[in-house]
Amino acid sequence: MKKTILYILLSFLLIGTSQAQDAYVPVPGAAPEGSTILYGGTAHIGNGKVIKNSLITLEDGKIKNISTSTVPPKAGNVINIKGKHVYPGLIAVNTTLGLSEIGAVRATRDYQEVGQLNPNIRSIIAYNTDSKVTPTVRSNGVLLAQVVPQGGRISGQSSIVNLDAWNYEDATYKADDGIYLSWPAMYTFKGWWAEPGGVEKNKNYDKALDEIRELFTQAIAYCNNDAPSTTNLKLAAMCGLFDNSKKLFVRANSAKEIIAAVNFLKQYDIQLAIVGARDAWMVTDLLRENNVAVVLNKTHNLPRYADDDIDLPFKMPKMLQDAGVLYCISVGAGWDGFWDQRNLAFEAGTAAAYGLTAEEALASITSNAARILGIDKQVGTLEAGKDATLIISEGDLLDMRTSNIEMAYIQGRLMNTDNKQKQLYRKFMKKYGLDPSPKQ
């Protein structure tokens, strides 16, 4: 009996050792020393401008200078990137990256708390820098992410992280940047996508609206009290909305829900963004006039209604662009809202194929995203004084046929772009006597 138990324990130990050896997450990049000069590449600034034969100087984690030069520098740490393309690091908005590891395993999903009203919940303390998913995402150019909680009427507070760090404290780029609220649905749809059913009015809509109104009323009273007798964590977390240090991100899709959310919340004079925004193209005047930003979920999607244009999700970024609405493209925080972030550049690429220029599409996942998150003074474009957070690709970043990230910097730190999927590729190429491509 003792031998049997010993064998079982030994088996678990061996399995754990095998998994530990297989679970390779690259070591975070070291702090930069001195200056680095990137010479000869085509720099896509992120604001619509393109600089050919660029010369970019990185120093102390910042972009010290960016200009055009046809003469290579003779001194310093010069890296020749002639023929390659330089882009700002991509920003994934509204994601569960680092909060979920295996979608089918509940124990690895740490993005939701019990209860309906949880403005005090902080996603940042659950963020896992050792996720094996993260390296597969950042190797496709995503260097910053807004990690968001899920569930309930008010899910909690999101935070912005960089994707190359030892722990969540080091990863934190902007803590508690916003609060996520799921607007109550006015209608419920029966059936599922393969067999659509009827539509019913949500009988609990008014009740849910009253709960939101009551919470905001209590929060305003609490935040206006300089010395409350007791500390209320839920109400205290809401104070940032009223002094504009936090933005309210409202999940809403139908046109009626978007209209209701904007008209209801504008009385509180808070910064507002609509997330999901499936019908945003119908209410662009309302969004623009009220300075409401849009976090658009997925261009790789199907239309919601039977009478929609089949390519509506593909061309919606162009429609928002033409209407003057501030928007960014997001992969979203659904069941695939962590690993699928690696396709963020290609979501923007599809928008470029359906009306946007390539530089407008790039802005939708860089500078526009930074503006919506309130970090545009630090990142989002390749400009002097901003963080040296950028990527270097052999080909067009937005085209999955040519995109190949060769180098990436986060705040001037050269990042390891290897990941488990690349390792497995090299492993099995060797198994069959084939040489892995140098690109891998």
What pLDDT does residue 10 have?
Answer: 47
- pLDDT category at 397 given cuts 50, 70, 90 is very high
CA distance 64 to 61: 9
Token code pair at residue 270: 């808070």
Asked if residue 398 has pLDDT above 90, the reply is yes
CA distance 209 to 194: 31
Asked if residue 19 has pLDDT above 90, the reply is no
- pLDDT category at 21 given cuts 50, 70, 90 is very low
Q: Which CATH architecture has domain 35-87+418-431?
A: Roll (2.30)
Q: Which of 24-33, 192-201, 417-426 is the least confident region?
A: 192-201
Give start-end residues of each CATH 3.20.20.140 domain in the chain.
90-379
- pLDDT category at 156 given cuts 50, 70, 90 is very high
Token code pair at residue 128: 């896992």
Asked if residue 257 has pLDDT above 90, the reply is yes
Asked if residue 18 has pLDDT above 80, the reply is no
Token code pair at residue 19: 């998994």
State the average pLDDT over residues 101-108: 91
Average pLDDT, the chain: 91
Q: Which of 271, 219, 282 is nearest to 246 (CA)?
A: 271
What pLDDT does residue 17 have?
Answer: 40
Asked if residue 6 has pLDDT above 80, the reply is no
State the average pLDDT over residues 265-274: 95
Asked if residue 4 has pLDDT above 70, the reply is no
What pLDDT does residue 31 have?
Answer: 87
What pLDDT does residue 12 have?
Answer: 45
pTM of the model: 0.92
Q: Which of 308, 291, 309 is nearest to 244 (CA)?
A: 291
Residue pLDDT, tens place only, 302-350: 998 889 999 999 999 999 999 999 999 999 988 889 999 999 999 999 9
What pLDDT does residue 32 have?
Answer: 86
Q: Which one-letter amino acid corresponds to residue 313?
A: P
What pLDDT does residue 5 have?
Answer: 52
Please tell me what DSSP assigns to residue 390. E
> What is the percent of the chain where pLDDT is above 90?
80
CA distance 11 to 406: 40
CA distance 25 to 136: 10
Residue pLDDT, tens place only, 352-396: 999 999 999 999 999 999 999 999 999 999 999 999 999 999 999
What pLDDT does residue 3 have?
Answer: 54
Give start-end residues of each CATH 2.30.40.10 domain in the chain.
35-87+418-431
- pLDDT category at 70 given cuts 50, 70, 90 is confident
Residue pLDDT, tens place only, 223-238: 999 888 899 999 999 9
Residue bearing tokens 């937005």: 398
The CATH classification number of 90-379 equals 3.20.20.140
